[in-house]
Structure 1
Amino acid sequence: MKKRDIKHLGNDIAKKQAELKKYLVKDFPRLVANDALQTFDDSWDKQGFTDEKGTFKSWEERKKNDGSKSDSNRGTLIGKGSGILRRSLEAKSITTNKVVIGTPVKYAQAHNEGAEIEQTISITPKMRKFAWAKFYETKKPSWRGLALTKKKEINRTLTIPKRQFMGNSKPLTDKIRKRLDTKMNKLFE
């Protein structure tokens, strides 16, 4: 620890205070935004999210349309690798009081929070032809039923399970606290 002359203590404290204020106003919010973006991006690598209590919740595995499990080498939200949702995360607003991370992708909230979406599907001649082909291939009566239905459209509910990738997170809070503690310790050595 440096020796300080008591005569200059007031000036030293004022300088440290000004330096800390500059850090908290200018640098700290930007660094917090970067930490948040990195933490949320890590959700894709981990295929899950750690909440504010520190509990890791892994994403529910994808299913194929027939209900069987998806290929094990495919990611849950990554699909075939478009990565649109993952790459869309951005700092929407950075102020001294608040950092807002978001995405312009419309379906992000449905994946992050889970959703049930009502759909109306028109049954076209092309769809009937496809249903017959699937029936002959699989021999499942449901395909035959679709091919022969008199309905012009079908109403169904699409359930998207919660696969949280952003929100309040203990690792993020810990990272932010550590960053601030490190700066304070360095500043007031």
Structure 2
Amino acid sequence: MLDGFATSTALGQEETPDSKLDFYANLFYPVQYRFLSELDSRFNEDNKQLLRSISALDPRSSMFFNAEITESMAVQYGVELSDLPVEVRQAKRLIQRKESEGVKLTTFVQLSPFMSPYKDAFPDLCKLLTIAIPPTSAACERSFSSMRLIKHYLRSTMDDLRLSSLAVLGIHVSRAKSIDMDNFVSKFAK
């Protein structure tokens, strides 16, 4: 495999390793050691426990809403341990009732908005769900896309307050469309 292995020096001369052992000792083993040490540090026992806790919040998991497994995440993020098992048990019952009514929760992304109206009843569980939501850059990209549509070379002299207000309206289009314009105009006229 390494019989024809050669490297070029700065002067263009070829330099051949003395043996395969030198190659392994100087290049292969240090890279392999670094790779394994990175795996060990990223997947230490605490991180594995945290990943198990996050997977217990996923409806597809066999450990879904297991209070014992979610405890390690609760401890790490300062959630009240005495209330968590009760909240988990009641949330399971709520989800089972809703599933019998035809509401199907199959993903973690569906579970979080489903639980948000019940924040007062399940404060600790909702806190864990909020922490466990995978972050995306969609909101940031949406805001830059809106800014590009609002401020272009024909509208380059707009002041910051107007630009900011138009950007908010452009980003939150659904809320802006739900505003009753007749009511808004009559309040503005008064």
* TM-score for the superposition, normalised by structure 2: 0.29
Question: Greater strand share, 1 or 2?
Answer: 1
Which structure dedicates a bigger proportion of its chain to helix?
2
The higher-RCO structure (CA 8 Å, 6+ apart) is 1
What TM-score comes out, normalization by structure 1 length?
Answer: 0.29
